[in-house]
Structure formats: structure tokens, C-alpha cells
């Protein structure tokens, strides 16, 4: 199997998973597709380097996250940014007659969209991918303490969306608010 075939196999096997990560970061289907497409197109000529990694999917996921964060920094003020999902979340009427649980989940998703990009990336990596703090730090290229600070601030913001039972994980981070 040559390099092209291995790249093709990787794309076919992992694009779904990468799109899910990208969607949770961008909250927009079009942007998620573009993010994954651009990242893999950029990595293609560097695929030999990817193949040296212990975990290729983790390597590519890191590239997706960093490209997302870098893209957000580069986003020009003159660019039109059409983000239907966020509009829907913010425009959605608050359904007071629904159960508290539904309200909380809607609000939780909407509030996730209001986190900073780095906070959201840290939350997605920690709670969707179940990565430990040190691996999140490796993806975000920052110190473990910074990751804990990002997550603790994110959880502090998200906690006000509802009434939640105590749990050791969030307590661990919330104790580390700096």
C-alpha cells in the first residue's frame, strides 16, 4: 500500500470522527466541512510526517483544532460570517413551559457557543474525547495549568445554566479557578 492509498484509507475511516469534532468546535456544518477538508488537504503533502506519529488520528485532530483556533484569529472583520446554528440557538425562544431538563440542555448548548474558542476546544477535548489534561495541553500547545484554568472557567460559565448535582470532576476544576 503506497502513501496515497494509506492517506485515502485514513480519510475514509476518520473523516466522520473529525467532522464531529469540527462541528462541536464551529457549530456550523459548512465550516466543519471546510475545516476538515482544508486540514487534510494541508496535511496531504506532509503525510509522511503524520505517519511518524504514534497516533495518527490524534495528530490530525490536533491539526484540526489548531487550524480552527488559528482561523478564528485570522478571521477578518470584513468577512461575512454566516452562522445559522448560532443564530438559531440565540434566537430560539425560551420555552418556559417545557421541562427544566430540556431548558437546561438547550441553554447548555447555547452557552457552549458563547465560550471562547479555546475554552470550547478544551471542553470538547476533555469531555467529548475524554482526553486527560496533559493531552489536552498537548493539543492546545499550552501548559496543563492553562488547560485547567480554561476548563474551570468554562464550567463556571456553564454551571449557571441549571441546577446540577455535585460531582468530583467539575469540583476538581472549579477548585482551580484562578
Partner 1 sequence: MSTKTLTDELRSVLLYHSLEAPQPNATVDRILNDTVGSVVALGAANPGAATPVAGTARPARRVSAQHLVAASVVAVLLLAVAGINSARNRTAGERAGSVGQRQFDQAAPASNAAGSTEVPYASDSSGKNAAAARPPAYVGRQLDCSKIPGGHLIVGQSDDFTLGAGEPGQLYEFLCVGANGQRSASQVQAFRQVGSTLVYLRTLVDPAAGQHVDFLVGGIQSVRIQASDNTPAAGGVPGAVVAMAFDISDTRSGFSTATVAEPCQRKDLAAAVSVAPQALAPAWVLALHNHTGTACALEGFPRVRAQLAGRTLTTAVQTMHGPAGGVTNKPVPPIIVLSPGATASAIIEQGVAVGACQGSDQLAVTLPTGVSLGQVPAELPGCGLSVHPLVGNISGSD
Binding region for partner 1 (CB under 8 A): 4, 7-8, 11-12, 15-16, 19-24, 27-34, 36-38, 40-41, 44, 78-84, 93, 95, 97-99, 101-102, 104-106, 108-109, 112, 123-124, 127-128, 155, 158-159, 162-167, 169-170
* Nearer CB in complex with partner 1: 23/68: 23
Smallest separation (angstroms) from partner 1 to the CB of 61: 13
Which of residues 27 and 61 has its CB atom nearest to partner 1 in the complex? 27
We find the least distance from the C-beta atom of residue 81 to partner 1, in angstroms, to be 8
- Angle (CA) 69 81 59, round 5°: 25
By three-state DSSP, how is residue 54 classified?
coil
- CB-based contact 161:139 (threshold 8 Å): no
> How many other C-beta atoms lie within 10 A of the C-beta of residue 6?
15
Which residue from 118, 101, 94, 107 is spatially nearest to 158, judged by alpha carbons? 107
Amino acid at each position: 500500500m503506497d502513501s496515497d492509498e494509506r492517506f485515502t484509507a485514513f480519510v475514509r475511516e476518520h473523516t466522520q470522527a473529525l467532522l464531529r469534532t469540527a462541528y462541536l468546535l464551529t457549530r456550523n456544518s459548512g465550516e466543519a466541512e471546510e475545516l476538515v477538508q482544508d486540514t487534510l488537504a494541508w496535511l496531504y503533502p506532509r503525510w509522511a510526517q503524520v505517519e511518524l506519529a504514534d497516533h495518527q488520528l490524534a495528530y490530525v485532530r490536533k491539526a484540526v483544532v489548531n487550524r480552527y483556533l488559528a482561523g478564528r484569529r485570522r478571521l477578518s472583520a470584513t468577512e461575512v460570517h454566516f452562522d445559522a446554528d448560532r443564530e438559531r440557538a440565540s434566537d430560539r425562544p425560551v420555552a418556559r413551559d417545557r421541562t427544566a431538563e430540556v431548558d437546561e440542555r438547550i441553554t447548555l448548548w447555547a452557552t457552549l457557543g458563547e465560550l471562547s474558542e479555546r475554552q470550547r476546544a478544551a471542553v470538547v477535548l476533555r469531555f467529548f474525547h475524554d482526553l486527560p489534561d496533559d493531552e489536552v495541553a498537548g493539543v492546545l500547545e499550552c501548559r496543563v495549568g492553562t488547560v485547567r484554568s480554561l476548563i474551570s472557567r468554562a464550567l463556571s460559565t456553564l454551571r449557571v445554566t441549571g441546577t446540577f448535582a455535585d460531582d468530583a470532576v467539575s469540583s476538581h476544576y472549579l477548585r482551580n479557578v484562578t
